[in-house]
Chains A and B, each alone.
Chain A
Amino acid sequence: MGRIDTRVWLIVIAAGLFVCLAYVPAIIREGDLGFAVSDVFLYEAMINGLLLGGVLALLSLGLNLIFGVVDVVWICYAEIVMLGMYGIYYLHSFYGVPLLIAMPAGILLTAIIGYAVHELVIRHLLDSAPINQLLATGGLLFFFQSVATLAFGIDFRNLGVSLGSFPLTEDIYISWSRLAAFIVAAACVAGLYLFLTRTFMGTAIRAISQDREIMTLMGAAQGRLYLISSAIGGGLAGLAACLLVLQYDVHPFVGLSFGPITFMICVLGGLGNMVGGFIAAFILSELIALGGYHFDLEWGYVFAFAFFIAMMFVRPEGIMGRRS
């Protein structure tokens, strides 16, 4: 019971920090509480943080799924997203494939990459020391970056599709692509939740993440469940690619701008814990959005990383993690 209490405290503290971060800088700057609470751009930043959180939640979901089942952290996960973005970009801008076909094709591509990463690399390292597994996926990160540089060059490429934005109120404009990203990510989180809790295969995936040896006794070929999870995890990276390619330029190093944060979200939430990752995604995205609003954009990341490091002292096992 004591642990549930700490969680409640954490949420209270996080909410307190959130309010402080939202209002205190404006109060200090303007010396006026009234101005701070009626600052529409602050609310716009909050909403943008929420929308960013949806995509980050989706990214962390795929990484957590693979970790939970296979017990290997894919450091190269964001690079798979990058490859998916390139896939969609080339299909659409180069070969003129309509987006509605290019996007599912991108998801298929990354699912195949996920499958291949497991089959060609991870499978052979399952009994190796964790540090070797980590280094191998880290090596894949640079491999994917180099391949992308060789194949596509270092130019920033833009899909050139703009969905525009719409006014939420007189002053707050919401970008359609961000809103779409949030909605799709939220739907996907819900879909994955239903898959994991309501279907046989999903139940088996949860079971193997709780006790892999016993699933062998039940008659499950571990390798097959690992491949299915890796392919689903890869597909989720592709879905994230669909959402990100609408908002960001593609270049070989684009993975670096959300790879580390995705990894941090997973650790902050409790590695392998999808609910924890979901919550952590919104905590960090709001920190980034609010820090970026009050100071410079980069300051948002500074706050997020500082918060993460502080949390590692307070609760190293993550928000929803289990002490081992």
Chain B
Amino acid sequence: MLSLSNVNAGYGTFQALFDCTLEVNAGEAVAVIGPNGAGKTTLMRVISGLIPARGGRMDMEGRDLVATPPHRIVDLGIAHVPENRRLFPRMSVEDNLRMGAFVPSARAAFSRRLEFVYDLFPRMKERRHQLAGTLSGGEQQMCAIGRALMSEPKLLLLDEPSAGLAPVIVQRIFELVRVIREQGLTVLIVEQNVQQVLRVVDRAYVLEAGSIRMSGAAEELAASDEIRRLYMGL
């Protein structure tokens, strides 16, 4: 579904990604793990067009992502849940969801999508008139995921969904990843919480200093001594 080959990217004179090659197949859940500053967030931002790729190829279902302007990426079926959630804090939950359905096709299906998201997250329905900035961390993450789901994407990009949340809530967020997969969505997730994320994905890539160092099936990586030593503190 999504394929990146030899993608380079960076900010100004700083290069953050070196020749990244990565594949996500339809129906899969794939994780990108790695230390802080490895370029995981940059990778997500390049895919959704917030940072231009400097060379390399990116395709979504055969369509060229590099040549697509940033605001058209969502039309191709990619929705990005950004790092730190980035809700519109002074707008209600429902208005946040409304903005998730900005593209015309989603706008036309707004009430159906809203119902879908409220069914998935009943808590959001209870809080629909509350300002997003006043939600708890876990609720904000739900709202951010719900907002991304409003565009009826095929591929969901999740950037550090567990960051800054209490352990109990983290558990619930990973549970949500399972629920989202059951809806038939393909998921690409970036996480620092390696142990837990490897339980909910099929495959994972290890990104270090801007390069893909390793990849493999989730159980394989979870069993690997190197991964256990470096990322799980075991």
Point out residues on A near B: beta carbons under 8 Å.
200, 203-204, 206-207, 210-211, 213-222
Of B30-38, B68-76, B120-128, the stretch lying at the interface with chain A is B68-76
Identify which of residues 87-144 in chain B touch chain A, using a CB-to-CB cut-off of 8 Å.
88-91, 95-96, 98-100, 102-103, 106-107
- When C-beta atoms are compared, the residue in chain A nearest to B151 turns out to be A219
> Is A213 touching B50 in the complex (CB atoms < 8 A)?
yes
> Is B95 touching A211 in the complex (CB atoms < 8 A)?
no
Q: Tell me whether B161 is interfacial, beta carbon within 8 Å.
A: no
- When C-beta atoms are compared, the residue in chain A nearest to B103 turns out to be A219
> Is B74 touching A217 in the complex (CB atoms < 8 A)?
yes
Contact with B91, one of A200, A210, A216, A221 (Cβ below 8 angstroms): A210
CA distance A214 to B91 in the complex (A): 14
A-B contact pairs, 18 of them (CB 8 A): A200-B98, A203-B91, A203-B98, A204-B102, A206-B90, A206-B95, A207-B96, A211-B88, A214-B88, A216-B70, A217-B70, A217-B80, A218-B99, A218-B100, A218-B102, A219-B73, A219-B74, A220-B102
CA distance A248 to B82 in the complex (A): 52
Report chain B residues within 8 Å CB of A213.
Answer: 50, 86
CA distance A203 to B50 in the complex (A): 22
> Is B71 touching A204 in the complex (CB atoms < 8 A)?
no
Point out residues on B near A: beta carbons under 8 Å.
48-50, 69-75, 79-80, 82, 86, 88-91, 95-96, 98-100, 102-103, 106-107, 147, 151
Contact with B82, one of A203, A204, A217 (Cβ below 8 angstroms): A217
Contact with A219, one of B75, B90, B98 (Cβ below 8 angstroms): B75
Report chain A residues within 8 Å CB of B73.
Answer: 217, 219
B83 to chain A, nearest CB (A): 11
Report chain A residues within 8 Å CB of B74.
Answer: 217-219
B79 to chain A, nearest CB (A): 8
CA distance A218 to B48 in the complex (A): 10
> Is B99 touching A203 in the complex (CB atoms < 8 A)?
yes
Report chain A residues within 8 Å CB of B82.
Answer: 214, 217
> Is A207 touching B71 in the complex (CB atoms < 8 A)?
no
> Is A206 touching B71 in the complex (CB atoms < 8 A)?
no
Report chain A residues within 8 Å CB of B147.
Answer: 218
> Is A210 touching B90 in the complex (CB atoms < 8 A)?
yes
> Is B71 touching A216 in the complex (CB atoms < 8 A)?
yes
> Is B72 touching A219 in the complex (CB atoms < 8 A)?
yes
B157 to chain A, nearest CB (A): 9
Contact with A220, one of B49, B71, B86, B89 (Cβ below 8 angstroms): B71
Report chain B residues within 8 Å CB of A204.
Answer: 99, 102
> Is A210 touching B88 in the complex (CB atoms < 8 A)?
yes
Report chain B residues within 8 Å CB of A200.
Answer: 98, 107
Top 10 A-B residue pairs of the complex, sorted by shortest distance between their CB atoms: A219-B103, A219-B74, A218-B102, A210-B88, A219-B102, A221-B71, A207-B88, A207-B99, A214-B86, A216-B70
A217-B74, A222-B71 in contact; A206/B91 too (CB < 8 A)? Answer: yes
